Amino acid sequence: MALRTPEQYKESLRDGREVYMYGEKVKDVTTHPALKVCVDTMALDYECAELPQYKDLANVYDPELKQEVSRYYYIPRNGEDLVKATELIIATSTYADGYIPLAKDIGADAINAIQIYANITGNKEYIDRVHNFRQYLMKDDVSIVSAVTDAKGDRMMRPSDPNQVHPDFYPRVVEKNAKGIVVRGAKMHITGSAYSNEIFVIPGRAMTEADKDYAVAFAVPCNAKGLKQICRPIKAGISSMEFPVDRPWRMHTDQLIIFDDVFVPWERVFMCGEWQQAFLIAHNFGLLHRRTGCAYRIPISEIFVGMAYAIAEYNGVERVPHIREKLTEAAMYLQTLKSLTRAACLDFVIHGGMPVPNPVTTNIAKYHFADKYHGLVKLIQDIAGGALITKPTYLDWQNPETHPLMEKYLSGKAGTSAEARLRMFDLIRRQIASEFEVMVLHGEGSLMSQRMMILAEAREELKRCKKIADEMAGIK
């Protein structure tokens, strides 16, 4: 098949999956009033693959299949391949007005992490299964997401701790037979799974021998029997109090996924009981996923920097010294993120025979955008001024009695209309009073997880630098 159309992707979702939202069971995710927006957002990955300006970036020729396939599922060979995959995420997220379409990118992070694990351990059976599943993803152009974060229960206890309220806070194998395994448990914070075709389930932490039943990695179709998904409410579209915008509304939702004794055939199982290597998958997925996070945060950051400059200009303060300083900070935030993300790809390292973004640089990039995000929000709010939250609404703009008053008193500097200024206020309010704040801090791991990985990955570099300093100081 290869390279599905957006319409084929949408049709594939009408498969009897069990999804719940707003307290009701969803009959069809493609027509549900809220989830339809999410489906349309994910479909942009397929749309971009057809557009002339993105086609060569989105697709690549696979010599084994002898056909064009999605770049997401193509195994990178070098730093340039990593750069192109990063540029694809940036391009599609830009096309989606700052929202990552999500059809394949994070699923690709998972299969590559599993591939690295299989290569390092040399388990031929797992290597063959990963290869065959990748071929399936390529040939059918399947959408797939990753389920990593566990429900956890008491976070001070391990998955197998007998003092946990129950043993199913983490997915675990409850049965094995000649045909496959049966899994019970839960994953949460899983973006896009309600309207994906497949889900990769991988360990979210290191395991002990007592946790071996929880050391499991597998792929499962979203309509598998016993798989239930509960969606969180999503942000509504532009309200009647805001200026309308002639652009499609983009959004994703997150799911709590319940595995109620879900059967998984052996050919879809990539880890089963190898507790010693559970962290190997989690570690490499975290690295690859953070590169993905850095990539799609670039278009978001460009929108934010654009808002800062626009409202400064509309308010007539773009040349005020302290405003110039804030705009400089905004520009530095964006350019640092861009440079670090690209550098991480070009300065790649090899994990399990596969080039991956430099671990230290990737974690520094992710830490940079998350740690300094609220500072960027603060300076935008500061530049915008109090009218950001006190201005009259679009309903008053439409009222013939109040419209001329708003037109007169809410315009900015000469040449800037009141409407332009009020529209920018609406955009800023929508963007920085949103789920982005929590997503940036905790998506791809907390700030502390980046600090821990930076120190761990940089330890040999620190030792090398110490040796140089010792020699310079005459210390033997």
- Alpha-carbon radius of gyration of the chain: 24
Is there a domain that residue 205 lies in? no
CATH number at residue 303: 1.20.140.10
Per residue in 401-421, pLDDT (tens digit) is: 999 999 999 998 888 999 999
- Band (pLDDT 50/70/90 cuts) for residue 448 is confident
Contact present, 281 and 119 (Cβ < 8 Å): no
Is there a domain that residue 238 lies in? no
- Band (pLDDT 50/70/90 cuts) for residue 228 is very high
Per residue in 152-210, pLDDT (tens digit) is: 999 999 999 999 999 999 999 999 999 999 999 999 999 999 999 999 999 999 999 99
pTM attached to this predicted model = 0.90
If we measure between CA atoms, which residue out of 345, 287, 280, 230 comes closest to residue 126? Answer: 280
Is there a domain that residue 290 lies in? yes
Is there a domain that residue 164 lies in? no
Is there a domain that residue 59 lies in? no
Q: Which domain holds residue 436?
A: 280-465
- Band (pLDDT 50/70/90 cuts) for residue 441 is low
Is there a domain that residue 189 lies in? no
Give the Cα separation of 7 and 325 in Å (integer).
47
Task: For residue 270, report the phi and psi dihedrals to the nearest 5 degrees.
Answer: -115, -10
Q: Are strands 144-147 and 198-201 parallel, antiparallel or unpaired?
A: parallel
Residue 460 CA from chain centroid, whole number: 30
Over range 296-303, report the average pLDDT: 95
- Band (pLDDT 50/70/90 cuts) for residue 445 is confident
Q: Which residues pair with 172 in a beta bridge?
A: 184
Is there a domain that residue 203 lies in? no
If we measure between CA atoms, which residue out of 178, 127, 61 comes closest to residue 354? Answer: 127
Over range 272-293, report the average pLDDT: 95
Query: At residue 467, does pLDDT exceed 60?
Result: yes
Number of structural domains, the chain? Answer: 1
The beta-strand segments (E) located in 285-401 are 349-351, 354-356
Is there a domain that residue 367 lies in? yes
Contact present, 38 and 252 (Cβ < 8 Å): yes
Query: At residue 338, does pLDDT exceed 80?
Result: yes
In this predicted structure, what is the pLDDT of residue 437?
47
- Band (pLDDT 50/70/90 cuts) for residue 455 is confident
Query: At residue 463, does pLDDT exceed 60?
Result: yes
In this predicted structure, what is the pLDDT of residue 1?
59
